[in-house]
Structure formats: structure tokens, C-alpha cells
A and B are shown apart, each in its own frame.
Chain A
Amino acid sequence: MNRFAELLDRLAYEPGRNNKIKLLVGYFRETEDPDRGYALAALTGALSFKHAKPGLIRDLITERADPVLFGYSYDYVGDLSETVALMWPKATGASHNESFLGHPSPQPSPARGEGAQPPRSPHNDVEMTEVGEGRTGGWVPSPLAGEGEGEGYRGRDRSEIPRTHNNPPPPTLTDVVTTLRTLGKAELPAQLARWLDELDETGRWALLKLVTGAMRIGISARLAKTAAAALGDKDPHEIELMWPGLSPPYLELFAWLEGRGDKPVNSDPTPFRPVMLAHAVEDSDFANLDAADFSAEWKWDGIRVQAVAGRDAHGHIQARLYSRTGDDITGSFPDLVPSLHLPGAIDGELLVLRDGRVQTFNVLQQRLNRKVVSPKLIKEFPIHLRAYDLLGDDENDLRELPFTERRSHLEAFVAKLNDPRIDLSPTVPFASWEELAAARADPKSAGAGDDADAVEGVMLKRRDAPYLPGRPKGPWWKWKRDPHIIDAVLMYAQRGHGKRSSYYSDYTFGVWTRGEAGDELVPVGKAYFGFTDEELLQIDRFVRRNTTEKFGPVRHVVHEADQGLVLEVAFEGLQRSSRHKSGVAMRFPRISRLRWDKPPREADRLETLERMLISMTGS
């Protein structure tokens, strides 16, 4: 643990990426298994245990140390974990800094000897009195220095003072991680206290950061994996590919990286593979893109999933459904599992189909985040998988193949599955960007037919691109249909978080509706992005100058017919909502423009949203 703590400590101060990698590689090289594996897990966020609350840490320190001194210290340091790590009273018997060691015992001054009191050595002062105050023996505390802060005059000739020899060694990272996994909540405080006794300051700091889940040290999972790859001179991409099948403490991985073992094979029959994501294409990008290099397909307004089937140790098919972030969502869609009867990994869109027609996202939403999936729900919202990529075919990893080859594998795979719940996402033929722009503007007549309502744009995929985890720029583009836009009036503003905490950056906006006393504004949504930094400054200034009331962090901003700020709000969709006074809720709203030019009276009305809602959902 102390070694890992040193690494974290050093990483926290090191600004350069290459230097961070160097520090990490150094650690991986010098640290044994399984500690380095758990370190890799901690750095990649692959460890999971219940985190300790700050209150628990506070209780631990005030039990051991003077609460007043803790108060002064916390004020000074400003960070709970660090304060506690720094001031944690040393366990008695611990070795100390070098004070006076090797020097002759301090002699009483000659002048003192002539005084009224008999001459005496300061050591006698220490040793004669109140030995019982020492907790576990070891250093004998001074009569004045009990209970932690200060541990008695170390004055300090080691030979004079007995030491305990039964100090446990400090815990390793492995000890900590494996213990935390199984530790009951009630046992946590005592265990933490024991570890804090055994660790050095940096170790205590790292331990507290780890157990409170506040380990922010500027290292991404990607960087940690890159460093692991550098240990064995491997391409980080290779680690990304095998990563889902690996688990802490990654013994096989390190064996392979050090040339002591074979490349790890995935032992999980249904691993999640990190997904490939697209960048939004801008109009200006097309000048540098050749239409012939790309294949296009519809961008479906569903949810991205990875459907994986594999054979377990007994040869039985096992299937799992993952969200794009790798969460296992199989339990929410039991009706899809029987359809995944061939080993392989499909990247696709989860949709609701009724009578062969794709329903909108609003309909699909009824199936999301359900704890209980009733037969009624399954019947009324029949789930469907529209496949657009194949990452694995039985035992074969296809991700290194170009898109066109994967697409042929996918077509064959879907045909072989021959299941009504799984179909192919069709490609959209086009010869030029103009042709594709026309298809995107009118999906209905460009092949999407009755499913056009569930199309939110087109996806562009380079024909020669392998399947790369993350969001590499270039191979995949998303070209969304223009969003819906309304003009709304800023009503309330709230301070943001983090580096925006000094700005009013969260905005509640409303549209006009007829009220009891004539037209009034009704809130329809909240947005906190979409604007530029410069626009943020402008809105912030406007909010501060036009506040009519304050409620804690919320400011009530002037919004009259002739006074106020009109925001152009872009959004992806609308749905009915009983939680909103307006009765509608927006999907993905963001500020697209500031309309300083527009008086609030000319902003949109709720009726406009009602009409949009009907045209979107047909209800």
C-alpha cells in the first residue's frame, strides 16, 4: 500500500503525460503481483466496494485526537483525507524520525544545576511519571504528551526505551482491496483504524482516498492501460481489446507483458467490448471527406446495446445485453435473450417494434430502467434488436477487420440467426454527399418508409475502418437531422458546479401560455450547455444585473413581455410529463443561440410545443 501510495502521490504532482506513463511503468516493473494488478484496477476504476462516508473518517480522528486540534488542522489543510492522514497519531512503538538519534543525551545546563531544584535529566522526567498512559507500551510518553498529538519526548536514546516487536507490517494494496470487498459495514471503522496505524502518511492518504472513492489524481483508465502496454512494448489497443475479458489482479496480463506467458484469452464467454463512438460531422468536414470511402445507414433513435452470446464451460449458450457503457442490462430485456442463440457479439440499437414498425424513443422509454418486467409490459412494448455491426463471430474476434468485411459477416450472421426479433440495419445507398443529404432530409422516401419517425439522422462509417474502442476521430461520423428549435424566455438561473461554480450556468426557461390573468410564462425545461464561454459570461452578467429575487443559489431573473432574455433552445424530442407544470418535457435541451434581438413577447407559446408533440408521437 505504501508503494502504491507513493505512486499516487507522485502522479498527483506530475503534469506531463509522458512522465506520468514513465512513473506508472516504473511502478509496474518494480512491483510484484498481485499488488500491481490491483493498482491497475484502482487506476482504471475496476475495483468495486462500498465507499466509506466522510463522517466515519471524521469520527475516527476525533476519537484519537483532540477535536480542537483537528479543527485547527482541517481549517488549515482543507481536505479531510489529507488532514486525517497527516495528523493520525502514530501507533506507539512505531519508529520515528531521526530526532537526536546518534547524539549524546542533552545535558542539563550548568546554570540549572545551581538552581533551587535538584539537577535532573529530562529523561528522568519522562520515565518516572505516568507510565500507564502509554497505550500499548513502546515509547514511554511524557507526562505532558498523551493521547496522540505528541508522543512524549523522544529525547531520546533508543537503547533506553523498550520497543515493541510485534508491530504488524503495513497492509499491502492487495490486503486492503481483498479485505474491503468482503468487509461488513460495522467492521469498517475498526479495520480502517488498524490500517491507519500501520501505514505511513502517504499510505494513509492513499488509503483514505481509496476508501472514500475520491481518488482524483488526473489519470484516465486509458493512460493506465497505455502504461501497462508500455511495460511490454505492446500497442495499448491490444490491451483495450482483451480488457473486457480480464479481471483484477491481471496476473495473465502482466505475465504476457513480461514475456512470461501467452497472450491472455478471454475466459468470460460473454464479455463486454468497449464500444466505438462517432463524432458529430460539421458542414465544413465534408470538404475533406470522400463519399466513396463511406457507407451510410440510418441513425436510429433507440438505445445503443451490445448483445453477446457465448458458450459457457458446459457448452451451453449464455447471452448478455450490455449498455454502451458496459452495464449489464440483460435483466430488463428477458424477452430478447432467447433470440441470442448463436455465439457472437452484435453492436446494435434496441427498439420497440409494433406490427413491424419502429416506435419512437418515447415509446421505448417505457421499457427502460424497469426493476420488474411484467408479461404485460413485454407484450405491449415488444423489444427488438436492429444490428449494425458484428464484433465477434463465435470464437473469432472481428474487430480488427475493416467495416465492409464485418458487415458481410453481420449479414451472414443475422441470416443464420433467422429470428424475427433481430434484423439488419439497412444501408442507405448514395453516390454523393448531396444525395445523402437528400436522404437524411426525407428518410421516408429514401428507404426508411414507415420507420422514418424513429430516424434521427444518418451514420457514416469508413469502409476500411476497424472497430476501435472509444471515439476516434475520422472513421465514424453521425449526421443528425436538424434538431427541433423553439424560442423560450430565461426565467431562473442557478450557479453551476466545479469550475463553473462562480457562474450562473443552469437556466430554467419557459414559453407563453394563457393564464388566469392573461399571458404568462410557464417553465418547460432546463439547460446548462450549448453556449460558448463568451456567451456564458454574457448570460451571467445579464443574470446578475436583472435578478428580481434570490432563493439560495437560485436567482429569479426578470421575465416580462418587454424585459428579459430570449434563448433559442434546441432539443431532440418532446414527451408528455405530469411532473412539469407545462405538461411536456424536452429531451436533450441546450441553448443554441442567444436572441438579444428578440423581445420576450415574441418567444414561442406552449401551443407550438403541443403541436410538435402531436406530430412527433401521434398522440
Chain B
Amino acid sequence: MCGMRPQDILMPLPAGLCCKPGGFHIDPVRPVERALITHGHSDHARAGHGAVLATQETLDMMRLRYGENFAGSVQAVAYGEEIRLGDVTVSFHPAGHVLGSAQISVTCKDRRIVASGDYKDARDPTCAPFELVPCDVFITEATFGLPVFRHGDAAGEVNKLLASVKLFPERAHLVGAYSLGKAQRVIALLREAGYDAPIHLHGAMEKITYYYQERGIPLGELRPARGMKKAELAGTITLAPPSATQDVWTRRFPDPVTAFASGWMRVRARARQGGIELPLVISDHADWDGLTATIAATGAGEIWVTHGQEDALVHWCKTKGLTARPLDLVGYGDEDEGETAAVTGEAQPAGEAKA
């Protein structure tokens, strides 16, 4: 059943990456019969599919966000467990992106494609480390697919935050961070750096953060920011969704220092546009060096590049003698391009916000 060409195994369709011989889609953006979900971020994990196969954590996160009936049926898969679906064998492998995140390996006969989803190769105390899965075709993200993106050491960024807290004890520090994954990683890094004061949370990230704690990730003492007196918040650190840090919500804080933990903070103009005073370059996506090193290490001869700065990464792959293409072009006729672009466009803002 499996043809010779990789695109016969996995093919991008408007609904998402489709595996015809296996009868499923990966991270579909429209309701489908059977979906394999890489991780819990809302642009990848949507409600309304017939059957969902994902890691336990990803399923739990979908349940937290969408309620009990987010899918017709669910099946939890452990990292490394092989599951036969139609003519293919699939397995999930840690992607190092957020808790429960996975790369999905699809093998048909002796040909293996790995859809990485979002991934990072940097250390993260809140999730399993990225596992390298050798393969023939590697589908990589390209959120930070330009050589200007190098994220550096996240611990150093957290030290920057702590130095600022020390320098401005009379001010509150508001750290904008995506509420699933980034916020918990920042908290965990603060704890590793020896910060043991209570950390305050914006209401929107309480549920997911407590879930991380339930899964045994030590985050120390957490308190809701709501109900606190202004003076009590001096010298404290509060985690909030990025949009909230520019909101009237911030008026409850004494002369807040606005920080933002994101890979985008590497570019100054971007940080300034957002009115950020303390940019923290902490990313849950691989940086340029991570992307290129990972691509090389998979041993894959063909690279499909998706969401982000595809052009630069495709160019790089080609200079290294690899076959590479932006994913949205594979197997598509021109008539489909418009729709694909629209789908990509829809997914992008969410992708940016959590970067």
C-alpha cells in the first residue's frame, strides 16, 4: 500500500497533515475522524475530532481547555510505544516543547517520516527532553528559522529577572509568558535559581499551572495575584499571559517592570514595539542552531519545513545538499494554495504568542 514517495505516506491537506495509509491526520485544524495530536497548544490541539490519540498529558490539557467531551473517543499513548494504524506504525517521542509534547514517527515498511510538531533541544525542567529520532524525512518547524535567533541560556535570562527584582525592590515584576508551558518553565527556572518567595499568578494560568504541579513538577509556593493589596505586590514576581501585561489589569501593581519571556525578545525592535522593559529570551522552540543541528542529526535526506521562516531554513538545507521544501507546497496544486495559506495564517497568531 505504501508507495515509494514520502508524500504517499504523509501529505499536507487543508485539514492538516494527512496519512492516508494510516487513516489519520496529525494536528488537524478541522474536525477529522482520527487525529494524532503532538501537544496541547490550541493551534495544534483542537476540539471536535472523532478519535484522538495523544500522550496522557496532552489529553489532560485538552480536557482542561475544552471540557470532557472534546473528542468522540481518546486513547493515551506512552513515549516509545508502537501502534499499528492501517498500513503504518506510529510512535510518539518527546519533543521537549512543553509537558506531554511529542514528535510523531510514522513508519511504512522501511521508510520513516518524523513530524516533529513544535520542539526544542534546550533543557526544560518541566518536560521530557527532546529525543532524536533518526528518519528519512524530517518535518521541522521554523518558528525561529533565521540565524539571528539564538536563544542562549534560559538560566541567564532568569538571572536577569532576579537582578532586576533586586535592583527595584519597590516595584512589581510582571512576566508575560504563554500560559501553557512557558509560564511553568519560567517558574521552575526561578526555583532552580534559588528564588523561593511565593510567585503570583494571573487568573488565566492558575488551572494549567496547578495541573503541572499535579503531574509532580515542583513549582514551589504559588499564589493568585487577585485580591492582593498593591503595596503587598512590591518586590514580587507575577506570571501573566502576554496580553495581560499591557492591560488595565496591571494597574493593581506598584510601578510594574514589564518583562516578556519569548524567543522573539531576541530582536530589540520587537521587544520595544511591545512596550517591554525587560525582555527575557526564553523560548520553547528550537533556535536556529537547534533547528540546523537537529535536522543534520536526524540523518534525514529530505526536510519539510513548516510554520515560520521557511525560506531561510529551506535555503540552508539546500546549501547542505538536502532536499528541502516548505511543507505547504508538497503535493499541492496551485488551486489549493490559497486555502493552505489561510489556514497557516489562522494558526500563526497563536503560534507567535506562545513562542
Contacts and interface: CB of A to CB of B under 8 A. Distances in A.
Given A97-B153, A108-B134, A150 B297 contact: no
Interface stretch (B17-25, B142-150, B201-209): B142-150
A98 B148 CA distance: 18
A86 B149 contact: yes
A111 B152 contact: no
Interface of A: 10, 12-15, 19, 22-23, 26, 65-66, 68-70, 72-73, 76-79, 82-83, 86-87, 96-103, 106-112, 114-116, 120, 122, 125-126, 142-145, 148-155, 200-201
A379 to B, nearest CB: 58
Given A110-B82, A149-B147, A122 B167 contact: no
Nearest to A74: B148
B150 A86 contact: yes
5 contacts: A13-B279, A77-B269, A142-B293, A143-B320, A153-B294
B293 A98 contact: no
A122 B148 contact: no
B133 A99 contact: no
Contact of B316 (A66, A96, A110): A66
Nearest to B287: A97
B296 A153 contact: yes
A151 B152 CA distance: 14
A73 B315 CA distance: 13
Interface of B: 80, 82, 89, 91, 93, 105, 107, 110, 112, 121-123, 129-135, 146-155, 167-168, 266-269, 271-272, 276-279, 287-299, 309, 311-312, 315-316, 319-322
Contacts of B80: 109-110
A58 to B, nearest CB: 15
B123 A78 contact: no
**Residue among A12, A86, A103, A106 having the largest count of chain B Cβ atoms under 10 Å:** A106
A113 to B, nearest CB: 9
A100 B286 CA distance: 12
Contacts of A98: 122-123, 153-155
A149 B267 contact: no
Contacts of A19: 168
A19 B320 CA distance: 48
A126 B134 CA distance: 13
Contact of B271 (A13, A83, A86, A200): A13
Nearest to A86: B148
Nearest to A104: B129
A224 B105 CA distance: 58
B312 A72 contact: yes
A111 B130 contact: no
B199 to A, nearest CB: 22
Contacts of A13: 271-272, 276-279
B147 A65 contact: yes
B129 A83 contact: no
Contacts of B278: 10, 13
A112 B135 contact: yes
Contacts of B298: 122
A150 B155 contact: no
Contact of B91 (A111, A148, A201): A111
Given A82-B267, A125-B297, A201 B147 contact: no
A26 B167 CA distance: 8
A155 to B, nearest CB: 5
Contact of B123 (A100, A143, A148, A155): A100
- With most chain B CB atoms within 10 A of its CB, the pick from A72, A96, A109, A152 is A109
A165 B209 CA distance: 42
Contacts of A14: 277
A225 B298 CA distance: 55
Contact of B296 (A76, A107, A115, A152): A152
B267 A115 contact: no
B129 A103 contact: yes
B130 A106 contact: yes
A108 B134 CA distance: 6
A70 B312 CA distance: 9
Nearest to A141: B296
A69 B315 contact: yes
Contacts of B279: 13
Contacts of B154: 97-98
A149 B288 contact: yes
B131 A145 contact: no
Nearest to A83: B148
A78 B299 CA distance: 34
A87 B148 contact: yes
B82 A73 contact: no
A109 B297 contact: no
Which of B93, B287, B294 is the most central at the interface, judged by chain A CB atoms within 10 Å of its CB? B294
Contacts of A99: 121-123, 290, 293
Contacts of A96: 289
Chain A CB count within 10 A is highest, among B110, B123, B293, for: B293
A100 B121 contact: yes
Contact of A73 (B93, B130, B146, B293): B146
Nearest to A84: B148
Contact of A87 (B93, B133, B147, B315): B147
B293 A152 contact: yes
A23 B321 CA distance: 49
Contacts of A86: 147-150, 266-267
A76 B320 contact: no
A12 B277 CA distance: 9
Contacts of B271: 13
A109 B153 contact: no
Given A73-B147, A99-B293, 4 more contacts: A87-B146, A96-B289, A98-B154, A144-B296
A428 to B, nearest CB: 51
Nearest to A202: B152
Contacts of A148: 147
Contacts of A65: 147
Contacts of B130: 100, 106
Contacts of B129: 100, 103
Nearest to A143: B296
Contacts of A144: 292, 295-296, 320-322
B168 A22 contact: yes
A77 B132 contact: no
A96 B290 CA distance: 11
A76 B146 contact: yes
B224 to A, nearest CB: 28
A153 B309 CA distance: 20
Contacts of B110: 114-116
A65 B289 CA distance: 13
Contacts of B122: 97-99
Given A99-B123, A112-B134, A153 B112 contact: no
